[in-house]
Amino acid sequence: MRAQRRRLRPDRLILPLPGRGDPGVDRRARHDAALLPGRPAARGPAAEVPRWRRPPRGPRPPGGRRRTRSRPSPRSSPYSPGCRLGPPGRALAAGTETTGHEPTVPPAISTAPAPPRPLHPPVTQRDLEAEVAHCVGGVLSPLLANIALSVLDEHVMGPWKPGGTMSSSSRRITRVAKHLPNWRIVRYADDFVVLVRGERHHVETLRTEIGEVLAPLGLRLSQSKTRVVHMAEGFDFLGFHVKWMHKRGTDKCYVYTFIADKPVRELKRKIRALTHRRSQVPFAAVLSRINQILCGWANYFKHAVAKHTFNALRSFVWWRVVNMITYRRRMTWTALRRQFKGPQGWRQIALDGVELFNIAAVAVTRYRWRGLSIPTPWAA
């Protein structure tokens, strides 16, 4: 200590501390309760501290805590040392001493019969209905509908078979003269329309008969989708709006097929979702997906009165794409016209090598009248 003192400046202070070998220091005791002030040191300052051991590395439960099995009370357990057994698995008396010639049956080798395992519950009607519900809207839905509704086809189209009351045009005219109805069904999967030539009470009667035919199959008509309307009011079927109306410029009435409002709303919803201004999807991917949707949609509805609808949709899609381009590229209207407008007018929008599909250029072709001469692969 004197040597260390000579090396330091006079304004420095040396504070001596007890070392490892000092008898008054026990570094191993840590915070032992016996070394706290006011408590007697039972083991002394040099008491031995328990040695540290590694904890077991068994699998831990999902909750993070180890759960121990509940131990039965010695008084209630038939396998406790103070319990005498008679027949296997039955306690005779508790609290008596066990003799040497009376064996004790441990739980691991007990001869008591194991309880029977519970059987799986049987399949209920609710489970079957849930399984069938999963098929609705899937690839098997049209097939299941065709199998189930074949009974409906046979009932409604029974008078049209050879020898039936509606099998020939003369018989149908005779029924009209007698104020009897004629009908025919048009069905696609589980959607069908029954066209009736007659009065409203004839339609109501036929509707009741159809409900009775579907009842044994576990089916029923949807109250929200089943309607009784006149052809002049029109009805929606498979995305089309069928209506009987006057032809413009004449006094004759024809049945026209328009595009219903719901498919147009669904198409606009898809276009809005693809052309969001803050979308980070590449322009090529956006235009490719829009072209696929427009091309398939136009090919399905091109046989209806759809020219006006196609022109309106072309304008809607064009403005949605233009607004997306101007926002994402920070373009002004002048820059946009400089890029997409030429001497012949506005050019078709093309970005990253993909050109926007022009739905207004799709040719509209009407179905020609073929009557009952539509070819079918099935023999009559």
pLDDT at 321: 93
- pLDDT of the residue at 348: 87
CA-based R_g, the chain, Å: 45
Q: What is the pLDDT of residues 95-132, one digit of tens each?
A: 344 444 444 444 444 455 566 665 555 555 555 555 55
Q: Are 299 and 363 in contact (CB under 8 A)?
A: no
d(CA 77, CA 196): 82
Nearest CA among 166, 165, 197 for reference residue 179: 197
Distance CA(236)–CA(257), nearest Å, equals 10
- What is the rounded CA–CA span in Å between residue 319 and residue 299? 22
**Which of 197, 309, 203 has its CA nearest to residue 256?**
309
Distance between CA 194 and CA 184 in Å, rounded?
Answer: 6
Half-sphere exposure of 89 (CA within 13 A, CB side): 7
Contact 75, 91 (CB under 8 A): no
- Calculate the alpha carbon distances from 275 to 252, 270, 280, 301 in Å: 44, 9, 10, 23
- Any idea of the CA torsion for 260, 266, 272, 274, to the nearest 10 degrees? -130
* Token code pair at residue 41: 């040191």
Who's near 234: CB < 8 A, 6+ residues apart?
A: 241, 242, 243, 244
Contact 184, 160 (CB under 8 A): yes
DSSP 19: -
Q: Which residues of the chain have pLDDT under 70?
A: 1-52, 55-138, 368-372, 374-380
Structure token digits, residue 16: 């001596």
Token pair recorded at residue 205: 């009667």
